[in-house]
Amino acid sequence: MAKILILGGGFGGVVAAERLVQELGDKHQITLVSRSRHFVFYPGLVRLAFGKCGREDVSFDLRRTMQRWGVNFIEAEVTRVDPSEHKVTIAQRDVQGQLAYDYLILALGRRLATERVTGFYENAHHLLNVDKALSFGNAIAAFHGGRAIIGECPGARLPVPVYETAFALSRTLAERGERKRARITIVSPDPPGSQLGYVGITVALRKALDAHRIEFLPDFPISRITTGAVMSSKDQTLNFNLLMLVPPFLGPPVASHLGITNEESYINVDSTMRVTGLEGIYSVGDCVNFSGPKMGHMAVRQGEVAATNLTAEITGREPLTEYIHEMRVVIDEGGGDSIYAHKDLWVDEPASVRQSRFWSWAKRVHEKQCEVFDS
Ligand SMILES: Cc1cc2nc3c(=O)[nH]c(=O)nc-3n(C[C@H](O)[C@H](O)[C@H](O)COP(=O)(O)OP(=O)(O)OC[C@H]3O[C@@H](n4cnc5c(N)ncnc54)[C@H](O)[C@@H]3O)c2cc1C
């Protein structure tokens, strides 16, 4: 019986666990470790902040789901990975323990490197956890005019909630009869739409932003924030009354001393999702060193590929299934300007882009994903 250890209970880890159970049944021991027993459906957090759904719609109890699937669940912090000994150290409050493994999947997501922007922690709202999304919701309720700045810090690699927040804010203010009192500006460290900057997406986004009178300010690498102002490293300053930013991302600290990461601590993997240079270890999700934005559907596909290849290894076959790095993005504008774009990020071809109300509905259907896992 092989001991398979999955570190991280997000999209990548949970889907890998599900696929392993489907493929291996109960013949092997599968354990998932995560610092929280709650799975968070991040794409729902913009709607949560705007009061369009509740806390229960964007999270479910991992322990219960894992128990149902026959996967051991341990709620603990992973503090160390030791590939030479095949051991992982975990901590539950003050108590430390070690878990042995034969095969390992690293699915630890991103680290929020808020320390890279002075004043971020004290002065900026963000949407990177449920409580912060609710706290931003309170700030939206109290905002009746002035300047709203929404944006990404350098290294953020998550443009979708920035655009969705700007659209949702514009609609909310219009519903309250307050839209004319507010100026909404999106700031980006990059050229216009560059993270989604493939032919077609930029044009569709620009059209939707113009329709909502949302300004786009590119080339604004935020470096410092005070109580009412954001500053860029190029000496530009913008005053704000409401601020929501995606902070800089880095890879997980646990992996950064293992010699398997790039300079931003993202884990190097090949297209079968195996960690480069280590036997029996896979990595999936936001923590891997792939180009472009970090997205949940990528983590899901990577989790499936890793689990399929791991199953092959365990059952004595070659792990040959390959991941294709595609971006499938839905930017919910709330109506007819919602955008769907598909782009193979490893191929130099334009994105295919569609724009209609359908994509707004389609995105909400995805929220039901939580219920599927939870039922
Ligand atoms: C507001 C918002 C909106 C988004 N919208 C979209 C969208 O529309 N479409 C889309 O495709 N993607 C979207 N994303 C991105 C998507 O949510 C992420 O790409 C996805 O969550 C990545 O999955 P993951 O499993 O790699 O990481 P995560 O979901 O972050 O999971 C990582 C897990 O590891 C655990 N963990 C980390 N470190 C440790 C440790 N040391 N010890 C124990 N446990 C640990 C965490 O608790 C967590 O359970 C959005 C993200 C946000 C924040």
Determine the angle formed by the axes of helices 201-211 and 160-175, rounding to 10 degrees: 20
Instruction: Return d(Cα 147, Cα 163) in angstroms, integer.
Output: 16
pLDDT class of 95 with cuts at 50, 70, 90: confident
User: For a pocket test of ligand 1, which of 34, 46, 58, 365 has the largest count of ligand atoms closer than 8 A to its C-beta?
Assistant: 34
pLDDT at residue 347, as a whole number? 81
pLDDT at residue 234, as a whole number? 94
Instruction: Return d(Cα 43, Cα 52) in angstroms, integer.
Output: 13
Instruction: Return d(Cα 5, Cα 102) in angstroms, integer.
Output: 8
Per-chain mean pLDDT for the chain: 92
Residue 125 Cα to ligand 1 middle (Å)? 18
Pick the residue with more confidence: 125 or 159?
125
Answer yes or no: is pLDDT of 355 > 60: yes
- Whose CA is closest to 327, among 358, 305, 356, 296? 296
Residue 128 Cα to ligand 1 middle (Å)? 8
- Whose CA is closest to 99, among 90, 108, 107? 90
Say if pTM beats, i.e. exceeds, 0.85.
yes
| Alpha-carbon torsion (138, 144, 145, 146), positive or negative | negative
Instruction: Return d(Cα 202, Cα 183) in angstroms, integer.
Output: 21
Query: Does ligand 1 come within 6 angstroms of the Cβ of 150?
Result: no
Six token digits for residue 152? 């990404």
Pair 10, 36: CB distance under 8 Å = no
pLDDT class of 361 with cuts at 50, 70, 90: confident
Residue 109 Cα to ligand 1 middle (Å)? 5
Instruction: Return d(Cα 167, Cα 93) in angstroms, integer.
Output: 41
Answer yes or no: is pLDDT of 349 > 70: yes
Judged on CB neighbours under 10 Å (0-12, 13-18, 19+), 116 is middle
Query: Does ligand 1 come within 6 angstroms of the Cβ of 45?
Result: yes
Looking at the CA of residue 40, tell me the nearest atom of ligand 1.
29
Looking at the CA of residue 295, tell me the nearest atom of ligand 1.
19
Residue 294 Cα to ligand 1 middle (Å)? 9
pLDDT class of 193 with cuts at 50, 70, 90: low
Query: Does ligand 1 come within 6 angstroms of the Cβ of 154?
Result: no
Instruction: Return d(Cα 305, Cα 300) in angstroms, integer.
Output: 9
Beta-strand runs (E) in 118-178: 146-152
Most confident segment among 187-201, 332-346, 348-362: 332-346
How far, rounded to the nearest angstrom, does the alpha carbon of residue 350 sit from its chain's CA centroid? 24
Instruction: Return d(Cα 250, Cα 246) in angstroms, integer.
Output: 12
Pick left, alpha or beta for residue 267 (phi over 0 → left; psi -120 to 50 → alpha; otherwise beta). beta
